[in-house]
């Protein structure tokens, strides 16, 4: 198991290199010059040249790329063109806000999604099932920023019970979390329902009933545990997205200073080191979440775990045999 | 010998979009303690449904089931739980009927945990190992998972599981049809040994006639939810009276080149079990069918002692 994790972590390196290259390429060819933006329209050509040289932007593409990668190897994500602070520091000060959104959004999705999914599957075609499936369909189809705007209209403008934007206390996080949770819950509910419907029809569920197991245990221990693999996959993708893509929109709508909003602002200002830093940071998080899900599989499904363990046992036995 | 299981006019209808599907339609039989009742019939004739009705995996639409003289048809809750202890089922497919997420010991031991049969962990382990030994599973597979074992061993898990609660009655729903022939014999012999040592009563559902001949004391032949012929096993194979049973038995291959094999071939389509019309269900395919067969449903009639046939013209056809 440990070997597997180390192998996966090493495999992260080429993935990150690829991501760095592609984003660097995109930023290099993106229109708009940060130097121009920094100095304003009244700057002279001499000033522009000086700053371009200072920021290292007069080097060739490969020159810039390799000096950036060289910095990365020393865990130096560069400094922001505008604030002149280290990108890593900028990211880490904003990271807690994103984490709060992602974790609670995910938690809300899981709670609502799995419970309604299980009930809908057990009571297939009931009124509950029909209503829940319909709502879930709306939930997955609705863009989260649009839902965010509707929530702002209802709770902030009409009812005036929640603040519309900013991050000055727990109340400010309620709407963003609901906004993220609805979409996730709908996704998880649909997956839970369909995989549960599949597992409930399995023969071993009938076996469990025949053993005299209570209906609750049959559903929770025999059916849900078997359905969990696909549900966890969806939750993993969802959580990875929440840490990156989804929160970008949500943070922008609710003006919460997280990584997502930072990324959008940095793109607007063509602040290349910040954009690079954010994207790389998100890529690392996403990969780690995926790795976490894969490790989780082995705990959920003993078959996967026994595969790892048997593989290492067989290898050891083979080594022993060849040495004797 | 006392009667352990008695079934009276048992019916199970399923609601399907086109109407009512008569899966089991008015079935009567008895099983004596320590005996095996073989149930044969083609796919979809209601054999499995009947087995599941007996152990309460389906609820009967009407009719009654008696276990040791007690009406168990409408039990629920704790009463049902306590009767389940005495009635277990071995399922057809050992590949899909075992939860892939549970190890061998968990699969066999789950009933023990549900019924709190063991007071300590040591007792539990000992009991599971004893059950594994009974069905011929090596101790080293104690922590294995079903996907690591072959079909025969998996079915042994199914048998051990069913035995865990010391039941008196076991429904075997085609327990060997998913296994290859050499393993079939092993499992059948295991079941017969267990019956002898524990005085078990079996209801043995199968479509394999040579298997049923090997293991049963009595046989009932089912056709579309009805019993068409019931008789002691030996007599059914020598004195076959119902046209359907005749066709069924003639389908058994005879491993002898010199014996001329007369095959009764059935023509026509299977009648739909959804909203069936009155009359003999077999009439459409029966070579002897007359007008009466299409209007009146035949009753089981004792032709010889303890040999029942449901056919209007049984005496004419067999010149009895």
- B93-111: per-residue pLDDT in tens? 888 889 988 899 999 999 9
Nearest to A212 among B115, B145, B147 (CB): B115
Consecutive H or E run containing B231 = strand B226-232
How many structural domains is chain A composed of?
A: 2
Phi first, then psi: give them for residue B242, nearest 5 degrees: -75, 135
pLDDT at B301 over 80: yes
Which of A39, A73, A107 lies at the terminal end of a domain, its last residue?
A: A73
Nearest C-alpha neighbor of A93 from the set A281, A219, A308? A281
Q: Which of A210, A212, A226 sits opposite B99 (nearest CB)?
A: A226
Q: Please say whether the beta carbons of B86 and B72 come within 8 A.
A: no
Distance CA B255, CA A52 (A): 94
Q: Could you give the CA distance from residue B44 to residue B220 in angstroms, rounded to a whole number?
A: 15
Query: What is the structure's pLDDT at A315?
Result: 66
With contact defined as beta carbons under 8 Å apart, do A243 and A279 qualify?
A: no
Q: Is A311 on the interface with B (CB under 8 A)?
A: no
**Are residues A138 and A218 located together in one domain of the fold?**
yes
Cα torsion for A303, A308, A309, A312, to the nearest 10°?
150
Q: Residue B275 above 90 pLDDT?
A: no
Report if residue A241 sits inside a domain.
yes
Query: In the prediction, which pLDDT does B67 show?
Result: 92
Indicate if A65 and A92 belong to the same structural domain: no
Partner A, chain B 69-108, Cβ-Cβ below 8 Å: 81, 84-85, 88-89, 91-93, 96-101, 103
**Domain-embedded: residue A314:** no
Helix (H, G, I), strand (E, B) or coil at B311: coil
SS (H, E, C) A108-174: HHHHHHHHHHHHHHHCCCCHHHHHHHHHHHHHHHCCHHHHHHHHHHHHHHHCCCCCCCCCCCCHHHH
Q: Lowest-pLDDT range, A160-174, B105-119, B236-250?
A: A160-174
Chain B residue with minimal CA distance to A298?
Answer: B101
Q: How far apart are alpha carbons A71 and A215 in whole angstroms?
A: 59
Per-residue burial over B53-75, b = 16 or more CB atoms within 10 Å of its CB, e = otherwise: bbbbbbebbebebbbeeeebbeb
What is the distance between the terminal CA atoms of chain B, rounded to a whole angstrom? 31
pLDDT at position A267 is 86
Please compute the mean of the pLDDT values over residues B253-260 and round it to a whole number.
76
The residue among B99, B109, B159, B175 with the most chain A CBs within 10 A of its CB, best to mutate, is: B99
Dist. CA A307–CA A313, nearest whole Å: 10
Edge-to-edge order in the sheet of strand B218-223: B87-90, B169-173, B201-206, B36-40, B218-223, B226-232, B307-309, B301-304
The answer to whether residues A120 and A67 belong to one domain is no
For residues B210-222, average pLDDT: 89
The CATH number of domain B3-86+167-318 is 3.40.50.300: yes
Let me know the angle formed at the C-alpha of A133 by A130 and A135, rounded to the nearest 5 degrees: 105
* Angle formed at CA B218 by CA B214 and CA B224, multiple of 5 degrees: 100
Q: Give me the long-range contacts of A267-270 (CB less than 8 A, separation at least 24).
A: A269/A34, A269/A37, A269/A81, A269/A82, A270/A27, A270/A30, A270/A32, A270/A33, A270/A34, A270/A37
Domain with CATH 3.40.50.300 in chain B: 3-86+167-318
| Whether residue A104 sits in one domain with residue A64 | no
**In the structure encoding, which two tokens stand for residue A246, read together?**
């989804």
CATH number for position A262:
1.10.3720.10
> Among A111-120, B5-14, B260-269, whose mean pLDDT is lowest?
B260-269
3-state secondary structure of B8: strand
Nearest Cα neighbor of B145 from A310, A212, A207 is A310
Produce one character per residue of B274-308: b if its CB has 16 or more CB atoms within 10 Å, e if not: eebeebbbbbbbbeebeeebeeebbebeebeeebb
**Hey, what are B276's tokens?**
């069936």
- Below-50 pLDDT ranges, chain A: none
Residues 277-306 of A with CB under 8 A from B: 301-303, 306
Are residues A274 and A140 part of one domain?
A: yes
Residue A81: inside a domain, yes or no?
no
Residue scoring higher pLDDT (A201 or B269): A201
How does pLDDT run across B148-188, given as a tens digit for each residue? 898 889 999 999 999 999 999 999 998 888 888 888 888 89
* Chain A residues closer than 8 Å to B145 by CB: 302-303, 306
In terms of domains, do A149 and A247 share one? yes
Which residue of chain A has the CA closest to B115?
A212
Residue A262: Cβ within 10 Å count: 27
Q: Identify the pLDDT of residue B9.
A: 92
What is the SS3 assignment for chain A?
CHHHHHHHHHHHHHHHHHHHHHHHHHHHHCCCCHHHHHHCCCCCHHHHHHHHHHCCCCCCHHHHHHHHHHHHHCCCCCECCCCCCEHHHHHHHHHHHHHHHHHHHHHHHHHHHHHHHHHHHHCCCCHHHHHHHHHHHHHHHCCHHHHHHHHHHHHHHHCCCCCCCCCCCCHHHHHHHHHHHHHHHHHHHHHHHHHHHHHHCCHHHHHHHHCCCCHHHHHHHHHHHHHHHHHHHHHHHHHHHHHHHHHHHHHHHHCCCCHHHHHHHHHHHCCHHHHHHHHHHHHHHHHHHHHHHHHHHHHHCHHHHHHHHHHHHHHHHHHHHHHC
Shared domain check, A169 and A123: yes
The CA distance from A288 to the nearest CA of chain B, in Å, is: 26
For an interface test with A, give the residue of B75, B110, B151, B163 to mutate (most A CBs within 10 A): B110
Q: Please compute, for residue B249, the number of CA atoms within 13 A of its CA located in the half-sphere on the CB side.
A: 19
Q: Residues of B with CB below 8 A from A211's CB?
A: 84, 110-111, 114, 161
Contact at CB, B81 and A210, closer than 8 angstroms: no
Domain boundary among A13, A45, A73: A73
Contact A213 B110 (CB under 8 A): yes
Residue B196 in this model has a pLDDT that exceeds 70: yes
Cβ-defined contact of A306 to B114 (cutoff 8 Å): no
DSSP B255: S
Q: State the nearest Cα–Cα gap between B272 and chain A, in angstroms.
A: 24
Same domain flag for A37 and A182? no
Query: Where are any strands of DSSP class E within B144-217?
Result: 169-173, 201-206
Q: Mark which of A40, A73, A106 sits at the end of a domain.
A: A73
Locate the chain B residue with the closest alpha carbon to A222.
B99
pLDDT of residue A192: 95
Judge if A238 and A163 occupy the same domain. yes
Q: What's the ipTM?
A: 0.70
pLDDT > 70 in chain B, percent: 99
Burial of B252 (0-12, 13-18, 19+ CB in 10 A): middle
Res A108: pLDDT: 94
| Domain hosting residue A274, numbered range | 88-291
Give yes or no for a contact between A113 and A184, defined as CB atoms under 8 angstroms apart: yes
- What is the reported pLDDT for A9? 86
**In angstroms, how far apart are the furthest CA atoms of chain A?**
86
Are A195 and A68 part of one and the same domain? no
Interchain contact B20–A (C-beta under 8 A)? no
Q: Are residues A39 and A101 in the same domain?
A: no
DSSP helix/strand/coil, B146: helix
**Residue A314 has what pLDDT?**
64
For A234, residues 6+ apart whose C-beta sits below 8 A from its C-beta are: A187, A188, A191
* Chain A residue with Cα closest to B80: A212
């Amino acid at each position: 198991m440990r070997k597997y994790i180390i192998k996966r972590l090493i495999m992260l390196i080429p993935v990150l290199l690829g991501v760095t290259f592609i984003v660097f390429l995109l930023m290099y060819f993106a229109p708009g010059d940060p130097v121009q933006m920094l100095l304003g329209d009244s700057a002279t050509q001499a000033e522009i040249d000086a700053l371009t040289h200072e920021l290292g932007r007069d080097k060739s593409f490969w020159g810039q790329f390799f000096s950036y990668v060289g910095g990365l190897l020393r865990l130096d994500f560069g400094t922001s063109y505008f604030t002149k602070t280290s990108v890593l520091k900028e990211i880490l000060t904003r990271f807690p806000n994103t984490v709060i959104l992602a974790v609670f959004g995910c938690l809300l999705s899981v709670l609502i999604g799995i419970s309604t999914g299980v009930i809908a599957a057990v009571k297939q075609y009931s009124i509950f099932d029909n209503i829940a499936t319909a709502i879930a369909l709306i939930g997955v189809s609705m863009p989260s920023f649009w839902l965010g705007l509707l929530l702002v209209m209802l709770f902030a403008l009409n009812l005036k019970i929640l603040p519309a934007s900013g991050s000055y206390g727990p109340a400010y996080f309620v709407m963003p979390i609901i906004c993220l949770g609805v979409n996730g819950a709908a996704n998880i509910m649909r997956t839970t329902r369909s995989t549960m419907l599949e597992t409930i029809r399995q023969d071993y569920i009938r076996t469990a009933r025949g053993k005299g197991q209570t209906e609750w245990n049959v559903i929770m221990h025999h059916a849900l545990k078997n359905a969990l693999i696909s549900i966890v996959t969806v939750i993993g993708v969802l959580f990875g997205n929440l840490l990156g893509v989804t929160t970008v929109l949500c943070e922008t709508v609710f003006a919460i200073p997280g990584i997502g909003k930072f990324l959008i602002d940095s793109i607007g200002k063509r602040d290349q080191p910040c954009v690079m830093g954010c994207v790389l940071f998100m890529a690392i998080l996403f990969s780690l979440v995926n790795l976490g899900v894969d490790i989780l599989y082995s705990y959920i499904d003993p078959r996967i775990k026994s595969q790892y363990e048997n593989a290492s046992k067989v290898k050891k036995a083979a080594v022993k045999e060849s040495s004797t | 010998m006392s009667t352990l299981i008695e079934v009276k006019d048992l019916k199970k209808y399923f609601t399907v979009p086109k109407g009512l599907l008569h899966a089991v339609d008015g079935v009567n039989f008895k099983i004596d303690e320590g005996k095996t009742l073989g149930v044969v019939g083609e796919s979809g004739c209601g054999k499995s449904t009947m087995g599941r009705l007996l152990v309460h995996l389906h609820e009967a639409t009407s009719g009654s089931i008696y276990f040791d003289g007690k009406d168990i048809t409408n039990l629920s809750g704790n009463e049902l739980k306590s009767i389940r202890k005495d009635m277990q089922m071995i399922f057809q497919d050992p590949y899909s009927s075992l939860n892939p997420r549970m190890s061998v010991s968990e699969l066999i031991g789950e009933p023990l945990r549900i019924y709190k049969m063991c007071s300590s962990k040591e007792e539990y382990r000992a009991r599971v190992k004893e059950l594994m030994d009974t069905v011929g599973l090596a101790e080293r597979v104690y922590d294995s998972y079903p996907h690591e074992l072959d079909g025969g061993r998996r079915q042994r898990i199914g048998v051990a599981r069913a035995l865990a609660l010391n039941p008196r009655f076991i429904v075997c729903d085609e327990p060997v049809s998913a296994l290859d022939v050499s393993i079939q014999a092993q499992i059948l012999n295991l079941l017969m040994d267990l019956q002898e040592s524990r005085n078990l009563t079996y209801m043995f559902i199968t479509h394999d006639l040579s298997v049923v001949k090997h293991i049963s004391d009595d046989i009932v032949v089912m056709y579309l939810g009805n019993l068409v012929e019931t008789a002691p096993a030996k007599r059914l194979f020598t004195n076959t009276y119902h046209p359907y049973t005749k066709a069924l038995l003639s389908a058994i291959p005879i491993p002898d080149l010199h014996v001329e094999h007369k095959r009764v071939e059935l023509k026509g389509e299977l009648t739909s079990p959804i909203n069936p019309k009155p009359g003999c269900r077999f009439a459409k395919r029966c070579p002897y069918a007359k007008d009466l067969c299409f209007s009146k449903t035949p009753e089981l009639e004792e032709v010889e002692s303890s040999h029942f046939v449901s056919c209007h013209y049984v005496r004419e056809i067999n010149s009895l």
